[in-house]
């Protein structure tokens, strides 16, 4: 009973890496269109999802992020032609690695958001926040 | 060899020392995982630590109405390296910009942060304010607390204020590690390549040639003119196409600044903005030339319906609008009893699957292209081709004018006659051209009557019953579709394709004739169906955009590029493999020592190489590992 109460109060911190051309613009569009979403997400802008080093993600979890979201341009839309494919490959590796580190791989999410998908971005944040809330805090924080 | 050895030892020894120190001094929280190579923050002047100024914008009530801005200002003052913080009603106003410049001078700021809207719109403005204050523009950082905070959390003022503090803290962490950057300057050659000799290509070539630039006009066919050459009359003026084309051709053929290359295809383009090296094939003979800018005006293709679609190619009297135009031109139509036109044949249906184009973009085989085109023949093209309605009405009027007794009926599911073209629609109505609306899903059916006429059955949506029309001719309005050569060209030039398969502009609204490749512009129907006036407009726009570059002779490119640390590079070449822009090459810097070298001008700054580098030798300027990790760390600690 008490445990359930604690879980309900848990406010996760989610880090989102957004590429400059599509998903960061999508996040901006969510703002201009006033699509509301929870305040749990912190956005880091990079030029391309291809710039997202696996170490950024790993250090985010190590610093206690409850969830990490990677967003990029849709396949075929990458401003830098192939950066998002590079990220997709790393993503597969990262998921595997997280499992070995004792972090649920579901805490890491990769989604394609175009500059025109403000609504999708807001929905993604709402959905991710809810899922991470259900999962509880990053296990590394309680270790 | 011994030099490298010493370097190795030095590098190994140093981090170990640092790691020991770190263990003693800061046991908690742990340092981020990445490599031990962490440069000290670059100080602005010798011996000066980062001095950060934070300006927090109310944006009227846009931010201030939700976020407690004074609280964020007070919070910012407590952050490390922040020496000054203030709030502004509008930081982007004259007064706001003046206060930034004043504070830079008064407090000796060497990093500036503005927490306001998105860098995508306002960063250039604040950067130039910093430059005016004598600060390198790469020492400016923006914190987005409007689009990504106040506007999306308007019902949670407390949460939004906390988030704004976090965003500012992240920006401060990043700003601490910002470094001044020099933007490389490049020369722009004053010559241009225009690909495609249709009306768009001709217009663009003439526009630039008249301004004194040397033009190479490349056309793959033996003759200039493109689709316009095949057309007879043009809507809405019903002018002869030759009236537009011939005068232009006359000038192009003799212009001293235009080198005409017909029966020529561009096979390869190397280089970067201002300095492209073009290889072309002229009747199988290889030619090459260097130019500064490229205008792609490769046009579009009139869709040829597959055999059997509306009995096309089955009955000889089923033709396309283009073929009807040619019949009218030859006067071969006579005076038939009835002509039925069908709109949206092969357009506005089906869906181009992104992976098809994507798969094509990633491969060099034309097998895939054939597969895509075959799929399209079965399903059609999903977009509205926007010229077919006017084109059908034009032919209907021409038929009516030639033979007033002919009954002309246009079958449509949606009629899109925009701007002044409404007039030709009214004119057609006055001439008693009939319009019948059918349901998109219930397309007309065509059979042959015993007396070799065509029988069109269609459900008249407005009348609510089926009508059967005996007709002498059936004319199909087919869309303009991407040319398969233009898809191959897009691959050569690294221009992305839109979901419809046309070349994609850099921004539909703001940069309609630019492409994502600097120095390459698009004109005419290459980016989607366009009629003659629109093609001319876009061609002149593209020419003007190219002329800006060439008239300036020089330009500065973004300093967000990769840089190689020669001490760490082992010359494996993985960066060269992943670089989409051919910006990295391996060079021999000393006997038996190969190093990666970045061409800062070709480098677009995606950062893929930096992640791929196994030794951490490649740094992305302005998005360094340290800068990003500082943000990660700040986001998750210190709240």
ipTM given for this complex: 0.94
Task: Count Cβ atoms below 10 Å from residue B236 Cβ, excluding itself.
Answer: 20
Task: Report CB contact under 8 Å: B629, A56.
Answer: yes
Which strand (E) or helix (H) includes residue A87?
helix A83-100
Q: Contact B608/A122, CB-based, under 8 Å?
A: no
Which of the four pLDDT bands, split at 50, 70 and 90, describes residue A115? confident
pLDDT above 70: residue B363 = no
CA-to-CA dists, residue B101 to A89, A98, B91, B230, angstroms: 45, 47, 11, 61
Contact criterion met (CB < 8 Å) for B148 and A63? no
Lowest mean pLDDT among A51-60, A120-129, B31-40: B31-40
Q: Report the distance separating Cα B416 and Cα B143, nearest Å.
A: 45
Please indicate whether residue B206 or residue B378 has the higher confidence score (pLDDT). Answer: B206
DSSP 3-state of A26: helix
Closest by CA to B163, choosing from A50, A125, A22, is: A125
Any idea which residue has 């830098």 for tokens? Answer: A80
The secondary structure of chain A in percent helix, strand, coil, rounded to multiples of 5, reads 50, 15, 35
- List chain A residues with CB under 8 Å of B501: none
Interchain contact, A36 vs B155, CB within 8 Å: yes
Predicted confidence band at A128 (pLDDT cuts at 50, 70, 90)?
very high
CB contact under 8 A, A55 and B163: no
SS3 labels along B373-424: HHHHHHHCECCCCCCHHHHHHHHHHHHHHHCCCCEEEEEECCCCCCHHHHHH
| pLDDT band of B270, cuts 50, 70, 90 | confident
C-alpha torsion sign, points B190, B191, B194, B195: negative
Q: Are A13 and B170 in contact (CB under 8 A)?
A: no
pLDDT of residue B490: 84
**Are B230 and B329 spatial neighbours (Cβ–Cβ below 8 Å)?**
no
Burial (CB < 10 A; 0-12, 13-18, 19+), residue A139, is: middle
Residue B356: pLDDT band by 50, 70, 90 thresholds? low
Specify the higher pLDDT residue, B387 or B120: B387
Which two three-digit tokens encode residue B373? 């085109």
Q: Which of A29, A38, A39, A140 is the best residue to mutate to test the B interface, defined by the most B CB atoms within 10 Å of its own CB?
A: A39
pLDDT, tens digit (0-9, with 9 covering 90-100), for B199-224: 999 999 999 999 999 999 999 999 99
Q: Determine whether the interchain pair A65/B629 forms a contact, defined as Cβ–Cβ distance below 8 Å.
A: no
Q: What's the pLDDT score for residue A9?
A: 74
Interchain contact B501–A (C-beta under 8 A):
no
Of B321, B374, B380, B302, give the one whose Cα is nearest residue B348.
Answer: B380
DSSP-derived letter for residue B575 is H
Across the A/B interface, how many CB contacts are shorter than 8 Å? 166
**B37 within 8 A of B568, measured Cβ to Cβ:** yes
CB contact under 8 A, A34 and B152: yes
B438-487 pLDDT tens trace: 988 888 999 999 999 999 999 999 999 999 999 999 999 999 999 888 88
How far apart (Å, rounded) are the C-alpha atoms in residues B103 and B95? Answer: 12
- Give the distance from residue A56's alpha carbon to the nearest chain B alpha carbon, in angstroms: 6
**Yes or no, beta carbons of B636 and A79 under 8 Å apart:** no
Cα–Cα distance, B610 to B624 (Å, whole number): 9
pLDDT band at B348 (very low <50, low <70, confident <90, very high): confident
Q: What is residue B16's predicted lDDT score, i.e. its pLDDT? A: 43
Contacts of B64 (CB under 8 A, 6+ apart): B58, B89
Task: Output DSSP code: residue A106.
Answer: G
**Token digits for A42?**
């912190």
How close A85 gets to chain B, by Cα (Å)? 10
Select from A43, A56, A83 the Cβ nearest to the Cβ of B148.
Answer: A43
Categorize the per-residue pLDDT at B328 as very low, low, confident or very high, splitting at 50, 70 and 90.
very high
Task: Check whether B425 has a pLDDT greater than 70.
Answer: yes
Q: What is the pTM of this model?
A: 0.71
What tens digit of pLDDT does each residue of A14-54 get? 999 999 988 998 999 899 889 999 999 999 999 999 999 99
In this predicted structure, what is the pLDDT of residue B15?
A: 42
Q: With a CB-CB cutoff of 8 Å, which residues 571-590 of chain B face chain A? A: 578, 580-581
Are residues A48 and B608, on separate chains, in Cβ contact within 8 Å?
A: yes
Confidence grade of residue B358 (pLDDT, cut at 50, 70, 90): low
Give the nearest chain B residue to A19 (CA atoms).
B606
pLDDT value of residue A21: 86
Separation of alpha carbons B391 and B238, rounded Å: 11
Model confidence at A1, pLDDT cuts 50, 70, 90, reads very low
Q: Which of A9, A18, A27, A50 to mutate to test the interface with B (most CBs of B within 10 A)?
A: A50
Quick one: pLDDT band at residue B29, thresholds 50, 70, 90? very low
Contact B389, B397 (CB under 8 A): no
Beta carbons within 8 Å of B101's beta carbon, 6+ residues apart? B129, B132, B133
């Amino acid at each position: 009973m008490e445990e359930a109460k604690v879980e309900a109060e848990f406010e996760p911190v989610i880090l989102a890496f957004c590429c400059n051309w599509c998903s960061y613009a999508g996040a901006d569009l969510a703002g201009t269109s006033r699509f509301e979403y929870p305040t749990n997400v912190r956005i880091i802008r990079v030029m391309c999802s291809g710039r997202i080093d696996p170490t950024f993600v790993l250090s985010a979890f190590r610093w206690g992020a409850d969830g990490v979201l990677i967003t990029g341009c849709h396949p075929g839309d990458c401003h830098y032609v192939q950066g998002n494919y590079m990220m997709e490959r790393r993503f597969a590796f990262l998921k595997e690695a997280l499992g070995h580190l004792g972090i649920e791989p579901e805490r890491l999410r990769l989604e394609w958001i175009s500059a025109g998908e403000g609504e999708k971005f807001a929905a993604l944040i709402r959905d991710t926040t809810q899922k991470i809330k259900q999962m509880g805090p990053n296990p590394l924080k309680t270790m | 060899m011994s030099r490298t050895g010493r370097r190795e030892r030095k590098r190994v020894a140093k981090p170990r020392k640092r790691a020991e120190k770190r263990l003693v001094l800061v046991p908690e929280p742990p340092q981020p995982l990445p490599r031990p190579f962490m440069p000290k923050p670059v100080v602005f002047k010798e011996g000066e630590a980062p001095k950060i100024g934070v300006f927090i914008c109310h944006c009227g009530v846009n931010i201030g109405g939700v976020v407690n801005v004074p609280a964020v200002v007070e919070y910012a003052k407590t952050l490390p390296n922040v020496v000054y913080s203030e709030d502004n009603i509008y930081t982007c106003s004259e007064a706001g910009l003046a206060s930034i410049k004043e504070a830079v001078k008064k407090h000796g700021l060497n990093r500036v942060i503005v927490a306001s809207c998105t860098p995508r719109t306002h960063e250039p403005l604040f950067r130039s304010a910093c430059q005016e204050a004598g600060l390198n523009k790469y020492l400016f950082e923006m914190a987005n607390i409007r689009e990504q905070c106040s506007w999306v959390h308007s019902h949670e003022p407390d949460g939004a204020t906390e988030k704004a503090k976090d965003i500012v803290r992240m920006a401060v962490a990043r700003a601490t590690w910002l470094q001044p950057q020099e933007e490389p300057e490049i020369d722009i050659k004053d010559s241009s390549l225009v690909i495609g000799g249709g009306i768009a290509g001709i217009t663009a070539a003439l526009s630039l040639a008249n301004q004194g630039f040397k033009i190479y006009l490349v056309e793959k066919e033996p003759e200039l003119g493109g689709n316009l050459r095949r057309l007879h009359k043009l809507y809405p003026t019903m002018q002869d196409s030759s009236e537009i084309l011939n005068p232009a051709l006359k000038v192009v053929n003799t212009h001293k600044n235009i080198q005409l290359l017909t029966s020529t295809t561009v096979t390869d383009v190397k280089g970067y903005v201002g300095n492209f090296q073009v290889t072309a094939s002229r009747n199988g003979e290889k030619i090459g030339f260097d130019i500064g800018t490229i205008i792609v005006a490769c046009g579009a293709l009139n869709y040829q319906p597959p055999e059997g679609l509306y009995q096309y190619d089955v009955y000889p009297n089923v033709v396309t609008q283009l073929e009807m135009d040619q019949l009218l031109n030859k006067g071969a139509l006579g005076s038939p009893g009835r002509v039925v036109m069908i709109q949206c044949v092969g357009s506005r249906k089906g869906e181009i699957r992104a992976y098809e184009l994507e798969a094509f973009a990633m491969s060099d085989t034309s097998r895939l292209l054939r597969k895509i085109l075959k799929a399209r023949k079965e399903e059609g093209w999903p977009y509205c081709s926007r010229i077919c309605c006017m084109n059908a009405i034009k032919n209907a009027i021409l038929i009516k004018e030639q033979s007033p007794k002919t009954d002309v009926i246009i079958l449509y599911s949606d009629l899109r006659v925009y701007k002044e073209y409404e007039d030709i629609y009214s004119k057609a109505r006055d001439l008693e051209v009939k319009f019948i609306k059918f349901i998109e899903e219930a397309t007309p059916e065509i059979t042959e009557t015993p007396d070799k006429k065509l029988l069109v059955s269609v459900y008249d949506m407005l009348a609510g019953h089926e009508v059967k029309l005996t007709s002498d001719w059936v004319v199909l309005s087919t869309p303009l579709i991407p040319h398969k050569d233009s898809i191959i060209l897009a691959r050569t030039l690294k221009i992305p394709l839109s979901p419809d398969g046309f070349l994609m502009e850099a921004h539909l609204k703001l940069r309609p004739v630019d492409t994502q490749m600097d120095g390459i512009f698009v004109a005419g129907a290459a980016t989607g169906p366009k009629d003659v006036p629109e093609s001319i407009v876009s061609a002149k726009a593209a020419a003007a955009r190219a002329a800006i570059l060439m008239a300036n002779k020089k330009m500065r490119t973004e300093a967000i590029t990769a840089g190689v640390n020669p001490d760490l590079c082992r010359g494996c070449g993985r960066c060269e493999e992943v670089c989409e822009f051919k910006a990295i090459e391996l060079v021999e810097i000393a006997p038996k020592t190969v190093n990666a070298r970045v061409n800062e001008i070709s480098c677009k700054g995606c950062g893929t190489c930096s992640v791929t580098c196994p030794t951490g030798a490649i740094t992305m300027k302005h998005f360094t590992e340290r800068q990003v990790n500082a943000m990660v760390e700040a986001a998750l600690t210190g709240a």
